[in-house]
Amino acid sequence: MTDPIRVLLADDQALVRGALAALLRLEDDIDVVAEVGNGTDVVGAAAEHGAQVCLLDIEMPGMDGIAVAQQLRVELRQVRSLMVTTFGRPGYLRRALEAGASGFVVKDTPATELAEAIRSVHAGRRVVDPALATESLAGGPNPLNDRERQILRECLDGEPLSAIAARIHLSPGTVRNYVSSAIGKVGAANRIEAARVADRNGWL
């Protein structure tokens, strides 16, 4: 009999972590070896516990799951990452796969399917929620460049452009130009709407 797959769970909600761990421990070939609630703890815990597959939430304190997947790819190349998230946004899917994640499923995936996804990722295959994959292909790539994404993230709170410009060390005119470009790319009426559209699509 082969050794069980060593899994690390990363989610900032303790109840979710506990529920996932309990369900996965029912599988004979899966062993949950570590649980963390902060993205910055993942790589260290994965190395310490010899994790082979890391289940990553996207929105976590410290470091988000997409950044963690990228860090794992650089520092622990043998470890696979599987995004398990409430936020089934096509933009997140594309960014996660570009960052090096091996799979992307949503949290309401049945436990048996999640276990199968872990086995597939561990075996070197890619696993993507089919509905999200279709939506992602239909939606096309993220139209925003890095600076536009940065500025739209700042716009989510509705702050004046002058305050945003001061914080990110650009002139107000330059910030206005980036905002105008972003508004045109996402087809919004104003910067607040553009920020919300981009956020909803997982482009930020």
Between the two ends of the chain, the Cα-to-Cα distance in Å is 45
| CATH 1.10.10.10, the chain: domain bounds | 146-200
Task: Please tell me the predicted confidence (pLDDT) of residue 134.
Answer: 62
CATH code that applies to domain 146-200: 1.10.10.10
User: For the chain, how many residues are written?
Assistant: 204
In the chain, CATH 3.40.50.2300 sits at 5-139
On the question of pLDDT at 1 being above 70, the answer is no
pLDDT at 75 over 60: yes
Task: Provide the β-strand partners of residue 103.
Answer: 82, 127
Mean predicted confidence (pLDDT) in 58-74: 93
Q: What is the pLDDT of residue 88?
A: 67
Least confident of 25-29, 124-128, 149-153, 200-204: 200-204
Query: What is the band of 141 on the pLDDT scale with cuts at 50, 70, 90?
Result: confident
> Which CATH number is correct for 5-139, 3.40.50.2300, 1.20.1050.10, 3.40.50.720, 3.40.50.970?
3.40.50.2300
